[in-house]
């Protein structure tokens, strides 16, 4: 084989290897994702994911068309980004970084992943809500037994794992004392659900406040630097 033919074959092999390099493909996908999603899109995506963990693509206010594959890839990268920020707070440089961190903390943070202590699993059958009218009970049951099934507080069947925000806060306030678990179960599932949602809302408001405060601080620093 001549020298020119060997060089041509070598170039074709090099070109083929470059197109099949998985690192190059991953870098291209990452670059494409960065172009597709703006900073505002990142915040909207995190908020949507926080509100609906079952299907974050529902009513997603991104303002332009993106595919489910792009959204899934973006969520994966934002999760990796959160863990990096959580390991080293010095990585938080801007108000946007702070806002991303605070919202992502509610999704992938310790309080979101940590199971409730002494969690008792509830049976798959759940009690139905009773109407204001007099309810006819099946034979062999009385009002006391029906109330116990509805609240789940007589036999310890309340699944505290269904109320992670509330349980996490109680665990912080009652460190080393598990008596609060009994008190929570006595409240019943219905009341716990409302209180858990209320606390979740307060945490989201706190995250927004922290993000706004960080943004104001950045603007203040910029103004002072300009005067100097």
Encode pLDDT of 147-168 as tens digits: 444 444 444 467 777 888 777 7
At 166-196, the pLDDT tens digits run 777 777 777 666 677 777 778 888 888 888 8
CA 7, distance to chain mean position in Å, is 54
CB proximity list for 204: less than 8 A, separation 6 or greater: 50, 103, 106
141 token code pair: 């049951």
Minimal CA–CA distance to 46: which of 114, 105, 86? 105
Specify the DSSP class assigned to residue 175: T
Average of per-residue pLDDT across 101-120: 61
Q: How high is the pLDDT of residue 116?
A: 34
217 token code pair: 């601080």
State the pLDDT confidence band at 131, using cuts at 50, 70 and 90: very low
| 139/44: higher pLDDT | 44
Q: Could you tell me the residue ranges of all domains in the chain? A: 26-113, 116-123+137-228
Q: Which of 13-17, 89-93, 209-213 has the lowest mean pLDDT?
A: 13-17
Cα gap 75→81, rounded to integer Å: 10
Q: How high is the pLDDT of residue 153?
A: 43
State the pLDDT confidence band at 129, using cuts at 50, 70 and 90: very low
CA 220, distance to chain mean position in Å, is 31
At 63-97, the pLDDT tens digits run 555 677 777 788 888 888 888 888 887 788 888 88
Q: How high is the pLDDT of residue 109?
A: 76
Q: Are 32 and 74 in contact (CB under 8 A)?
A: no
Q: Are 153 and 187 in contact (CB under 8 A)?
A: yes
CA 69, distance to chain mean position in Å, is 18
pTM equals 0.36
Q: Are 62 and 54 in contact (CB under 8 A)?
A: no
90 burial level (CB within 10 Å; 0-12, 13-18, 19+): exposed
At 17-66, the pLDDT tens digits run 444 454 554 444 554 445 567 888 888 888 877 775 544 444 555 555 56
Q: What is the dihedral of CA 109, 106, 46, 52, to 10 degrees?
A: 110
74 token code pair: 């973006």
Q: Are 77 and 108 in contact (CB under 8 A)?
A: no
């Amino acid at each position: 084989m001549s020298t020119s033919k060997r060089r041509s074959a070598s170039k074709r092999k090099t070109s083929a290897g470059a197109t099949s390099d998985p690192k190059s493909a991953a870098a291209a996908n990452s670059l494409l994702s960065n172009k597709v999603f703006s900073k505002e899109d990142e915040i909207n995506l995190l908020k949507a994911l926080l509100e609906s963990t079952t299907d974050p693509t529902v009513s997603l206010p991104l303002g332009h068309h993106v595919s489910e594959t792009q959204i899934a890839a973006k969520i994966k990268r934002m999760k990796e980004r959160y863990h990096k920020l959580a390991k080293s707070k010095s990585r938080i440089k801007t108000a946007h970084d702070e806002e991303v961190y605070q919202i992502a903390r509610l999704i992938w943070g310790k309080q979101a992943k940590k199971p409730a202590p002494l969690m008792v699993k509830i049976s798959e059958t759940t009690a139905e809500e009773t109407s204001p009218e007099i309810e006819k009970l099946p034979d062999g049951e009385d009002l006391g037994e029906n109330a116990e099934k509805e609240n789940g507080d007589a036999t310890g069947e309340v699944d505290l794992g269904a109320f992670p925000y509330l349980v996490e806060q109680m665990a912080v306030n009652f460190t080393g004392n598990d008596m609060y678990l009994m008190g929570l179960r006595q409240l019943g599932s219905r009341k716990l659900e409302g209180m858990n949602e209320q606390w979740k809302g307060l945490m989201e408001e706190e995250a927004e406040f922290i993000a706004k405060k960080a943004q104001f601080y950045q603007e203040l620093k910029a103004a002072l630097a300009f005067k100097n």
